[in-house]
Structure 1
């Protein structure tokens, strides 16, 4: 493949309203229209999840953003159960706040996966209600934990199918892997005794390179004949260049397969800020970000995960958050796909929200990577995958430049490449940043035997999609 030239596409972003979202000047291709996106209730199944974390500490307001949940296209939402929020007086549970959230999500056909966490300081040795805090350790606190988990599972067993035990235990200095494994077994026993068919999501691992930590816990569970409490390994592992995560993901896959190849891999929490350096707290805030670079990053994480065989991807998160003093950090966490005001109310969707919607629609349903697709290109930094969709004719190809952190630049390179074992009846070109669909004509692609040659395709540091037209619908 040979690069023909470099040119700049000027994208003029302007907000018409929260409902209309972005518009932009077109590529040189003929515009066919805007992608029609679908709400969760219109999508039968998908791999996409959205984060609804920190509601247990009131850092975001579910009821401020709930109108955007179903329309996002996500079929799952990750929630934290909040022991300290639900039990503020010993032995007295108030689940009303969580009832409203779970019931509303389900009414929008979004399935909650519910995390049991964090500690509860009303009990001596009860741990902290904060990230990186400790698990309950005293006899009184552990008994109280057991009772709270039992009450939770009994309350939601007909509504919640997937339970996650704790969050990022590997970054806490207040417990060893052995101590957490015992705590995991204790909690898993309660969940399974009440809901035998529950799917248990394990670890919410912060560090992708901590394979020894994962192995030590799996060894303990295996020795106790408790591997049935490890249906899913959930990992996080923030990286400003998301593609640099996948060698570690492959090692995790190999490890869990050695114990049980049926264990799924979920990317349970990943997102990028949308503000310049110093204006947000949390992961990756030492870099400058914007709403444009955030949206590019989200697209690269979603499609990179899918291309590398990750079973479920959850983007952190739907709304900006305001962390309080006394937690791991304090201040604005701008990783939301929705721009929130300081009181939690929603100002508007960001570019990343629209980008998420677009991918959640196009890549809904049963998507499989075309493993034998032969895609010939000469740039090792070009990330290219081909996919098939059950019950749809033709395929889809995603491609982007992956050598560096996404920027605000819309510079692209015109590339030529050819593929085999990927069928297209009528390929079209989709820019998922704004959902514009463009026509590809004979100047851009040609079929020769079992090969399809693509010519003059603009590629930058965000994914674009060449997809068979029968996969998509356009707005009238």
Structure 2
């Protein structure tokens, strides 16, 4: 064994041991380690497609001020917030926005743009609906008038700070309203927002079920009949799936529907995340499966890069910290989908692996990223996911790679994969593990260029995304 390969072997062993200490077990790559990816805070990023969830603050299931020091460094350029009618108006006609003022002002100070949801109901009014997921919208004359006044107060207060407004959350899972009733409520609310802030972007539905295409179409039909499609700038969808890649056939159908009404309507994945605890230790979506911090991080990477590869305009990961749901809501108990682990006293215990994975992805794929649509891939593994991109102002391209098709697991086993891709120019290729940000030098026998065809040979790939990209995309820090 030469001294060079002996050195690489020893470094790889040390890296593997350190990774195990952090809870990440991984087979060592045989490549030479070049360093670690430098990550960027939101203030260092001009623009990006990435958002982080700050939901449930309206019901005190999470504590913004406990996690705010992690918000800017995450790199997210947006945060999804819920306005909380019932929290802001606990006495009829008296508003207390101080709690929300502090959150919005702090987020903006970190160069993170809030997108603000008007929701849920307010039980101080008869027929006011419930302050809970899957609750009803206000229905009585008194409650609807109070809703109008609260929305008006919200928009007037934040119109210089909030550009994007979301109307309600997951109305399609509520048994307390029809699509027709919700469409009328959406129009009523949208009229108020647009009358005060004409250039506001309105985010619609926060759709829970990806398969509910008829629901989406019926809402759009009603808005079109009322000449109100200007109140539907964005279709936001959720649709949790333990295998992220299984979502995209439904996403394509949603895209086809919105394009038939207005091809300018954007498609946002507005809320998606995975638990980080074993079965039975978390509430909410996908809790019938066993999860860990490793499988959660893999899932987050696959959701983010799957969305980007399938043309989703904005991706928001649910959410930045663990949440503790209270009795009386749709469910009660710990929701462990946070990227930050919460201690029993509500403080932040530490970032999870998924937080670092999120940081790494945001740092690489922010700015003006364009998918290379003409790229053609020849591969032997059906579930090998391959997408390639260019970045404005940066030389070369980046290729994202992972094996999908099944739920991510704890094993960090890899298999050697070979494939070819066209129209993807990488001048000085390096290999990036998005789980921990380690950057490796590719050996010369791992890649061959032949005109417009790039052949990648014996690349170690597992069930989480890695990136082969031009070194010009990255800035490294020393180990």
TM-score (norm 1): 0.96
Counterpart for residue 308 of structure 1: 310
Over residues 113-149 of structure 1, what are the superposed CA-to-partner deviations in whole Å (9 max), with x where a residue is unaligned? 0000000000000000000000000000000000000
Residue 416 of structure 1 is aligned with which of 418, 426, 432?
A: 418
Counterpart for residue 252 of structure 2: 250
Over residues 141-164 of structure 1, what are the superposed CA-to-partner deviations in whole Å (9 max), with x where a residue is unaligned? 000000000000000000000000
Contact 1:24 1:434 in 2 (8 A): no
Counterpart for residue 390 of structure 2: 388
CA pair 402-344 structure 1, distance change in 2 beyond 3 A: same
Counterpart for residue 230 of structure 2: 228
Contact 1:23 1:434 in 2 (8 A): no
Counterpart for residue 5 of structure 1: none
Quote how far apart the aligned CAs of 1:343 are: 2.8
Counterpart for residue 3 of structure 1: none
1:60-209 alignment to 2 at 5 Å?
A: 60-209=62-211
Quote how far apart the aligned CAs of 1:455 are: 1.1
Counterpart for residue 49 of structure 1: 51
Higher share in helix: 2
Counterpart for residue 278 of structure 1: 280
Structure 2 distance, partners of 1:25, 1:402, is 19
Higher RCO (CA-CA < 8 Å; seq separation 6+): 1
Structure 2 distance, partners of 1:433, 1:413, is 17
Structure 1 distance, partners of 2:254, 2:376, is 26
SS in 2 for 1:142: helix
Counterpart for residue 459 of structure 2: 457
- Could you list the runs of 5+ residues in structure 1 that have no partner in the other structure? 1-8
Over residues 269-319 of structure 1, what are the superposed CA-to-partner deviations in whole Å (9 max), with x where a residue is unaligned? 000000000000000000000000000000000000000000000000000
TM-score (norm 2): 0.95
Contact 1:13 1:23 in 2 (8 A): no
Contact 1:200 1:231 in 2 (8 A): yes
Quote how far apart the aligned CAs of 1:383 are: 0.9
Contact 1:268 1:314 in 2 (8 A): yes
Structure 2 distance, partners of 1:373, 1:115, is 38
CA pair 259-13 structure 1, distance change in 2 beyond 3 A: farther
Over residues 68-111 of structure 1, what are the superposed CA-to-partner deviations in whole Å (9 max), with x where a residue is unaligned? 00000000000000000000000000000000000000000000
Structure 2 distance, partners of 1:293, 1:15, is 15
Counterpart for residue 287 of structure 1: 289
Counterpart for residue 4 of structure 1: none
Structure 2 distance, partners of 1:452, 1:223, is 51
- Could you list the runs of 5+ residues in structure 2 that have no partner in the other structure? 1-12
CA RMSD of aligned residues (A): 1.6
Structure 2 distance, partners of 1:91, 1:413, is 63
CA pair 12-236 structure 1, distance change in 2 beyond 3 A: farther
Structure 1 distance, partners of 2:167, 2:344, is 30
Structure 1 distance, partners of 2:24, 2:303, is 21
Structure 1 distance, partners of 2:138, 2:272, is 27
Counterpart for residue 338 of structure 1: 340
